[in-house]
Amino acid sequence: MNPHRVFNFNPGPATIPTEVMEQARDQFLDYQGCGMGIMECSHRGREFNQVRESAEENLRQLMGISDDYAVLFLQGGASLQFSMVPMNLASGQQPLLYADTGSWAAKAVKEAKLFAPVQVVYSGKAQNYARIEDCESWEMGADDPGYLYVCSNNTIFGTQFHRFPEYPEIPLVADMSSDIASRLVDVNRFGLIFAGAQKNLGPAGVTIVIIRKDLAARSRDKVPTMLKYSTHIEKESCFNTPPTFSIYMVGLVLEWIKKRGGIAGVEADNDHKAALLYRAIDEGDFYRGTVDPACRSKMNATFRLPDESLEAEFIRQATAAGLVGLKGHRSVGGIRASIYNAMPAAGVETLIEFMREFAKANG
């Protein structure tokens, strides 16, 4: 453990494996003997080309992405995908189906409405997004829908889909920004997956898009060139200058996941970390989880203390103890511990020790 590094529970940008940060540091001025840092290299040169190709190859291998899908490294964040998805995939009057399971999904609904009629098939808003109702109860009656959209992990509220909707005839679109590569998913069940890198895969600045090629071919002519998936598929994410350094960092993180036993390996660790943390939340009356236990996220654990002044004190003392980034989202309050792939088990164990001490002293 590097003595200068804290345990960083920030929701995003989030902690990156220390080994990856060290590797980037060692290569910072001189990437593999070329006399330049990778961020100084041409995006069309040999060095960066190799970086991009191997990042794509590793992501394909790790997630089991077939040749029916394109893998893109785009800019604009996950938020631009809220518009790009309907802009490219909506065809006029076909209704678009959305599950509103939190703030990010609600933002996606707002953008989609600019392009097509939207049907919200399920909304958790009335229950303050504290649970995700089984998809069997969703209102799926629409005629010939364009796609069904879900947000697989609700970063702010702390819920997660543990089972995805099964409507094989409707393309499934998923915002996996806060749980991509944290668990095994069957990519073949999705039409499109997107994720900002800054939670589970590296630094901000690059958005991963995994799209079934036949869906990309659907885009209408009126879509601006830069916002068309087919542009970036054709030019292998180099239509314009891509965020080269961020892609390089994602590549290093993917290599790190491979060394940890692939996604199955990190998933086992994530299950373990989440189980430890939720057990600590549930073990007394002092801490109270904010969501339905059946829908709990393995990435973002949200909980409250008996009152807000104790929460402020908890955050203050935790920060002083080297446990940072635990403040809940401003729209929810309370505590949120983001425990993505790169959070070591030791970080969760240290947090739990701190929680027990704090409950003893203040309970």
Ligand X SMILES: *Cc1c(COP(=O)(O)O)cnc(C)c1O
The contact set with ligand X (CB under 6 A) reads 12, 77-79, 104, 151, 155, 175, 177-178, 196, 199
Residue nearest to ligand X (CB): 77
Among candidate residues 104, 179, 256, 327, the one labeled active-site is 104
Catalytic annotation on 113? no
Catalytic annotation on 298? no
Q: Minimal distance in Å, beta carbon 212 to ligand X?
A: 20
Catalytic annotation on 175? yes
- Residue 328 DSSP code: P
Q: With respect to ligand X, which residue has the nearer C-beta, 231 or 297?
A: 297
Among candidate residues 100, 179, 199, 327, the one labeled active-site is 199
Q: With respect to ligand X, which residue has the nearer C-beta, 56 or 175?
A: 175
Sequence-distant (≥ 6) Cβ neighbours of residue 175 within 8 angstroms: 78, 81, 104, 105, 108, 149, 150, 151, 152, 194, 195
Q: Minimal distance in Å, beta carbon 105 to ligand X?
A: 8
CA nearest neighbour of 184 among 127, 284, 268, 108: 268
Q: With respect to ligand X, which residue has the nearer C-beta, 78 or 352?
A: 78
Q: With respect to ligand X, which residue has the nearer C-beta, 23 or 79?
A: 79
CA distances from 86 to 83, 92, 210, 300, 360 (A): 6, 10, 15, 28, 51
Sequence-distant (≥ 6) Cβ neighbours of residue 339 within 8 angstroms: 9, 270, 273, 274, 277, 298, 299, 300, 301, 347, 348
Are the C-beta atoms of 359 and 287 separated by less than 8 Å?
yes
Q: Minimal distance in Å, beta carbon 197 to ligand X?
A: 8
Burial class (CB in 10 A: 0-12, 13-18, 19+), 15: buried
Q: Minimal distance in Å, beta carbon 309 to ligand X?
A: 29
Among candidate residues 100, 175, 179, 269, the one labeled active-site is 175
Q: With respect to ligand X, which residue has the nearer C-beta, 49 or 79?
A: 79
Are the C-beta atoms of 194 and 216 separated by less than 8 Å?
no
CA distances from 238 to 53, 68, 210, 242 (A): 12, 20, 16, 6
Q: Minimal distance in Å, beta carbon 257 to ligand X?
A: 19
Which residues are annotated as catalytic?
Answer: 104, 175, 199
